[in-house]
Structure 1
Amino acid sequence: MARHADNREQFRPNGHDNDNFLLTTVVGSYPKPKWLNRSKELADDESSKFDDDDLAEAYDDAARVITHEHENSGLDTVVDGEMRREEMVEYFAHRIPGYEFNGPVKVWGHNYFDKPSVASEVEYDEPWLVDEFEFTSDVAEKPVKVPITGPYTLARWSFNEAYDTEEELAYDLADLVNTEVEKLVEAGARYVQIDEPALATTPDDHAIVGECLERIVDGIDDEVRIGLHVCYGDYSRIYPELNDYPIDEFDVELCNGGYEQIDVFTDPEFEPDLALGVVDVHTAEVESVEEIKENIKEGLKVVPPEKLTVSPDCGVKLLPREVAYRKMENMVTAAREVEAELDDGEIDVAGLRRSPAGSQA
C-alpha cells in the first residue's frame, strides 16, 4: 500500500509566502555544459595532457554549476542534473559486480546503446551515489533529491545470461538498491526517486515492480520520501494496481499527451501523492506561466494541493540549456501563483476534482 508518510512538509522552504505548498522538483537529467563534453573528449585523447583528475574536476564543476542553476530557478528540491551520468542503465551497471559490457547495440535508427550483460550473480560492492550526494548536498542550500534507475529497468534493459528469469534478476537487483538507499539515508538523503521507464513498455509486469519496491523500502524510515517515476505508457494498464505500491509519490508524464489520460487516475481514488509533469520535455517551446498554471490544475483533478508535486514530464537533458532553465523558472512561478490563488479561494478545488465516472464532481 502507499506509505502515507507525513514526509512532504520537510521540503517547504523557510519563510514560504503561501499557506498552500506545491512541492516543485525535477525528474533528474539536465543539459550538460558544452565544456564538459569537450573535457570528456580531451580525457579520451591520448595526445592530450588533460587527464582523469582534470576530468573529475570538470564533473565537480559542472555538478556545482547545475545545482546552483536549479536553485536559481526557485526549485524546492534539486539534483546535480546527473552530470556524471551518460545513460541510466550503463551508469549503474558499471558499478554492479556481475555486469559486463560487450560493445554497443543498435536500438533504433542510427542510435546505439552500450547494453550490458549480466554474466554472473549481481553483488553490491561499493556505494554507487553516496559521494555524489554528499558533494551536491555540500554545494546546495536546498534539499537534494536522488534519482536511481530501478531494478526492473536494470534487469529488462540488460542481456540476462546468469539468471533463470528476469524476475529473479530484478529481485536481486532490488536488494542491492535497498542497500544503496540505506547508505544514502545514512549520508542524509531524505528524497529518493526510483526510475522505472521499462514498466511503461511491459505493464503486465506491474506485480514484479511492486515486489521490487517492497524490497527497496524494507527498513527505510518513513521520513524518507520515496518516489516512483514512470513515463510514456498506457497508464490504465498499471492503475489502480500502483495504489498498492509502497511509495509516497508517483511521478508521471502526461503533459506531452495533453493530459488525455488524466481521468485514468480518478477511479478508484488515487492514493499516493501525484508528481505531475507540467512542461513538455520534447519541445523547445517554453510554456508560458499561464499555460503551466492550467496544467497544474489538471493535477488538482486527481489530488488535493497538499498531495501535488510539480515537475517536468521527464529529464530535460535533450533540450537546449537555456530552454530547460526557462521551463523550470516558469514552472516554479506558476506553482507559486497557483498557491496564492488557492490561498485566496480563487481556485475551486472541489469543482476540479473528478467523480469516479470522470465527470465534474
Structure 2
Amino acid sequence: MQIKSATLGYPRIGKNREVKKSLEAFWSGKIAAESLLQTVTEVEEANWKTQLDAGIEKIGIGDTTLYDHVLDWAFRFGLIPEPFQQFSGLERYFAMARGKEGIPALEMTKWFDTNYHYLVPEIASEILSADFSDFLQTVQRAQKILGKRAIPIILSPCTLLRLSKLESNIDEAVSKLIPLYINLLTELKNLGVDEVQMHEPALVLGDANSWKKHFQTVYNSLESVELPLHLVTYFDDLGETYPWVIELPVSAISLDFTRGRNLELIKTYGFPEDKRLGLGIIDARNIWQIRPEQVLSVLQEIVDNLHVKSLDIQPSASLQFVPYDAKGEKQLPSALRNVLSFAEQKLQEVVLLARTIIGDNTKTEQEFLESSWSQFEQFSPVNHSIQERRKTLKIDDFQRSLSYGLRLDSQIPLPLFPTTTIGSFPQTSEVRQLRVRYKRGELSQEAYQAAIDVEIAKSIKLQEELGLDVLVHGEFERTDMVEFFGQQLSGFAFTENGWVQSYGSRYVRPPIIYGDVIRTAPMTVREFKVAQSLTEKPVKGMLTGPVTILNWSYTRTDISRQEQAFQIALALRDEVADLEAARAKVIQVDEPALREGLPLKPQRWSEYLSWAVDAFRLATAVAQPQTQIHTHMCYCEFGDIIKDIERLDADVISIENSRSNNQTLREITSGGYSHQVGNGVYDIHSPVVPTTEQILEQLRTGVANLPVKQIWVNPDCGLKTRRWEEVIPSMKNMVEAAKVLREEVNATPR
C-alpha cells in the first residue's frame, strides 16, 4: 500500500497577523493595494515552505484569502449581485464583504459548526463572466516552490450552491456553473496539475441525500476533463450518503475520522479498491497532541479493513482553525505546552503517522508524546468541590422562580421601543495601549483601573446625551468576550500568539480548557458598580454565556462537553448573583454560539440542545423575578430551533437582523416567539453610517411582525470594531428612529 502525507489547507493570517495589519492599513488608506497583495503573497509562500520543510508530500494550496474563501469563489465565478456591479476590482470585492455607500454587505453566517464566518453568495439568474486569473497565478507560483506537491483547493459547485441564496432553481444554477468549473479544471490541467482537491463539506449535512442528483450531475460532467479529482469532506461523517458518494467518478475521497462514524461506515459498506482514501486522523479543530496508542490503533483498524492501493494521512480539515506554532507559547507551563499541537505540530504528527504505518519510524517520537501526556496528567487540576456541586444540582436550579408572564410587571419600566446597545464600544488604540502597558507592568492595577474608569465615564455620559434607555459600561477592559472570562476562571489557559481567524481581519485567541472550571472571585462587578454610580438609568451587567465560552474555546477531551458547560454555568451563576446583589436590574448573558454548536446531523440536535439550553438556564435561573435577563445571538438561522431559544427563558433576546434582510426576525415571529426581541437595526460590520430612515424601515418591519411591547431597538452586534466617528452618528440616528416610531404608534388609533 502506498502511503503519503497530505494537508487540506493552512492558517492564512500570518504568524504575526500580517494580513490583518495590512488589511486595516489598506482600508484606512495608509498603504496601496499592491502592498496589501504583496503581504498576502509572502504569508502564503511562507506557509507552503513550512509544509514543505515538514515533509508533507501533498500540500493543499490556493486557500489563502484577503477576507473569506467563499467570497473568493463567488467573486471568481462572477456571482456578483446587481448593487455591486457598479464597482470593480478590490473595490467591488470589499464592498461585497463590508458594504459601501448605503449598499449593505453580503449576509454573513457561520461556516458549518465552526466559529469562522463566511459571506453568503447570492446567485441571480444572470452570472457575470468568470475570472480565475488570480487563482491560476497562485497555482503557478506554488508549482515553482513545491513542484508536484502543490494540489489546488477548489470549493466545489454543490457546496457553493448549498451555502448560497438562489434566485433561480438549483437545476438551472448547476447547469450554469458546470461549464465554468470545466473551464477552470481544463486550465489547471493545461498548467500540468496532476490532481485537484474538490472541497465538499456539504456532503456531511443532514439534507445531503436530497442533493444526490446534483452531486452526480456535477461529477459526471467534470469527469470529462480527465483531471483526477480528490473529493474532500470534513466536520462529520457521510451518513446515509456514503453508499452513493463512494461511487462518484473521483480518484480519491477524504473522510473525517475525528468526528462522526466514518469508520463504522467503512466497515459496513467497504471502500472502493480503485480509489485513494484521504484519512483525516489528526484533529484539525482542537489543539491537543495525538495520543499515539489511541490514534495508531484506529489507524491500524482502518488499514486492516481496507484493500485500497493508496492512502493519504492528513488532518481532518484545513488547519485554519488552529494557531501556527505551540513552541512560541513560553508563558504556558511546560507540562501544558508539551501536549499542545498547533498547525506546525500537526504537520509533524501527520508525517510521524505516515512513517509509522509503513514501518519507517523509530519509537523515540512516540515515547516522547506518551511521556508528555503522563506529565500533563500529573499537572492538570482536579477540583472535587465543583464536581460535587455538579452532582447535587436539582430541577429548581434550572428554572426562574416565576414564569416569564408573571415576572414582567416587576421588572424595570421602560418606554415603547427601548433603546440599548449589545455591550461593547470602540476599542481605540488608546484603550488597547492601556492593556498593553498594564500587561507589561508599566501601569499598576490601580492606575489601569482608574484609566478604564475614565473610559467608562465617557461612554456613560455619551449614552445619556444620545438618549439611550438602557446603558452599557462599554467593555473597555475586555480584549475578547470569551478570553476576558476565561482569564478569571481556573482551568483555563491562554496563549500569547494563538490567533485564529473569525472573519476578515477579525482574529481571536480561543482559550484552552485544560482542567475543572472554578470562579475564584467576582469578574465584572467592579466595572458595573462604577458605571451604575454615574447614571440613574439602568446599566446592563454583561456576561458571556456558558455555551459560547465552551464553543469558542479549545475544550477538554477527557470529559464531556456537557460537563464542561455546566461547570462554566455554575461559575456564571455565582456572577449573576453577585451582580444582582450589586443592584443590577438588567443582566445580559450572550449566547451567539448556541446555534454554532449544533451537530450537523439534525437527528443529533435534541441531545445537544437539551444540555446547552440547560446550561444557560443554570447560569441565569438564580436571578430574582425583578431582574431582567437579556441574551444576544447573531449570524445564524433560528427558525428550526426557535422553541429551544424560547426555552432559554430570557426576558429579551437581541438578534442580528439587518444583514439577513429581516429573515431572522421572520423566523422568530413565525415560530410564535413570545418574549421580547431586540431587532438588530443596522450592520455593525460595515463602516457605513445608517440613516434614520433606513433604521425606521427596519423597525417598521419589526412592528409588522411583532406586538410593539415586544420590540427593543439595538444594533446587530457589539461595536468594539467600529470607530467612534461611525458609532456616534449611528447611535444618534437609531435613537431618533425609535422616537419617531413611538410618535407614529402613539398617534395610531387603537
Q: Specify the TM-score bucket, using the shorter chain as the normaliser.
A: 0.7 to 0.9
Secondary structure class of the residue paired with 1:194: strand
Mapped contact 1:25–1:311 kept (Cα < 8 A): yes
- Counterpart of 1:246, as a letter, is D
Partner of 1:118: 513
Q: How does 1:88-237 map to 2 (within 5 A)?
A: 88-108=481-501, 112-161=507-556, 164-203=559-598, 204=605, 205-237=608-640
1:162, distance to aligned residue in structure 2 (A)? 6.9
Secondary structure class of the residue paired with 2:642: coil
- Counterpart of 1:104, as a letter, is N
Whole-angstrom CA distance in 2 between matches of 1:135 and 1:106: 32
When residues 110 and 35 of structure 1 are mapped into structure 2, their CA distance, relative to the original with a 3 A threshold, is closer
1:305, distance to aligned residue in structure 2 (A)? 1.1
Further displaced range: 160-169 or 312-321: 160-169
Whole-angstrom CA distance in 1 between matches of 2:597 and 2:701: 26
When residues 184 and 163 of structure 1 are mapped into structure 2, their CA distance, relative to the original with a 3 A threshold, is farther
Whole-angstrom CA distance in 2 between matches of 1:280 and 1:226: 24
Mapped contact 1:103–1:115 kept (Cα < 8 A): no
Further displaced range: 35-44 or 174-183: 35-44
Q: How does 1:279-298 map to 2 (within 5 A)?
A: 279-298=682-701
Match of 2:453 among 54, 60, 63: 60
Whole-angstrom CA distance in 2 between matches of 1:70 and 1:163: 46
RMSD: 2.3
Unaligned runs of 5+ in 2: 1-398, 599-604
- Counterpart of 1:269, as a letter, is G
Further displaced range: 216-225 or 180-189: 216-225
Mapped contact 1:217–1:246 kept (Cα < 8 A): no
| TM-score in terms of structure 2 length | 0.43
1:45, distance to aligned residue in structure 2 (A)? 5.5
Mapped contact 1:99–1:117 kept (Cα < 8 A): yes
Q: Does 2:470 match 1:80?
A: no
The one of the two structures with greater contact order (alpha-carbon pairs below 8 A, sep at least 6) is 1
Higher helix share: 2
1:37, distance to aligned residue in structure 2 (A)? 2.8
Partner of 1:325: 728
Partner of 1:356: none
When residues 302 and 159 of structure 1 are mapped into structure 2, their CA distance, relative to the original with a 3 A threshold, is same
Further displaced range: 231-240 or 304-313: 231-240
1:323, distance to aligned residue in structure 2 (A)? 0.9
Further displaced range: 128-137 or 154-163: 154-163
Partner of 1:243: 646
Whole-angstrom CA distance in 1 between matches of 2:409 and 2:493: 38
1:110, distance to aligned residue in structure 2 (A)? 7.4
Q: How does 1:12-23 map to 2 (within 5 A)?
A: 12=414, 21-23=416-418
Further displaced range: 79-88 or 114-123: 114-123
Whole-angstrom CA distance in 2 between matches of 1:215 and 1:122: 15
Unaligned runs of 5+ in 1: 13-19, 349-361
- Counterpart of 1:97, as a letter, is S
Mapped contact 2:562–2:611 kept (Cα < 8 A): yes
1:124, distance to aligned residue in structure 2 (A)? 2.0
When residues 162 and 7 of structure 1 are mapped into structure 2, their CA distance, relative to the original with a 3 A threshold, is farther
Whole-angstrom CA distance in 2 between matches of 1:201 and 1:90: 18
1:232, distance to aligned residue in structure 2 (A)? 0.2
Report sequence identity in percent.
26
- Counterpart of 1:337, as a letter, is V
- Counterpart of 2:460, as a letter, is T
Mapped contact 1:11–1:23 kept (Cα < 8 A): no
Looking at CA atoms only, which structure, 1 or 2, has the larger radius of gyration? 2
CA distances 1:47-76 after superposition (whole Å, capped 9, x unpaired):
x6x544332221111111112112211100
Mapped contact 2:470–2:539 kept (Cα < 8 A): yes
When residues 283 and 112 of structure 1 are mapped into structure 2, their CA distance, relative to the original with a 3 A threshold, is closer
Mapped contact 2:655–2:664 kept (Cα < 8 A): no
Partner of 1:10: 412
Mapped contact 1:265–1:302 kept (Cα < 8 A): no
Mapped contact 1:252–1:313 kept (Cα < 8 A): yes
Mapped contact 2:473–2:531 kept (Cα < 8 A): yes
1:299, distance to aligned residue in structure 2 (A)? 1.6
Match of 2:681 among 255, 278, 287: 278
Mapped contact 2:499–2:510 kept (Cα < 8 A): no
Partner of 1:353: none
Q: Does 2:658 match 1:265?
A: no
1:139, distance to aligned residue in structure 2 (A)? 1.6
When residues 75 and 177 of structure 1 are mapped into structure 2, their CA distance, relative to the original with a 3 A threshold, is same
Secondary structure class of the residue paired with 2:693: helix
Partner of 2:424: 29
Whole-angstrom CA distance in 2 between matches of 1:61 and 1:338: 34
| TM-score in terms of structure 1 length | 0.87
1:226, distance to aligned residue in structure 2 (A)? 0.7
CA distances 1:319-356 after superposition (whole Å, capped 9, x unpaired):
1112111111111111011011101007x9xxxxxxxx
1:32, distance to aligned residue in structure 2 (A)? 2.9
CA distances 1:243-290 after superposition (whole Å, capped 9, x unpaired):
222211111101122213332123332211111111210112111111
Mapped contact 2:540–2:584 kept (Cα < 8 A): yes
Q: Does 2:418 match 1:39?
A: no
How many residues are matched?
A: 338
Further displaced range: 216-225 or 86-95: 216-225
Whole-angstrom CA distance in 1 between matches of 2:653 and 2:451: 34
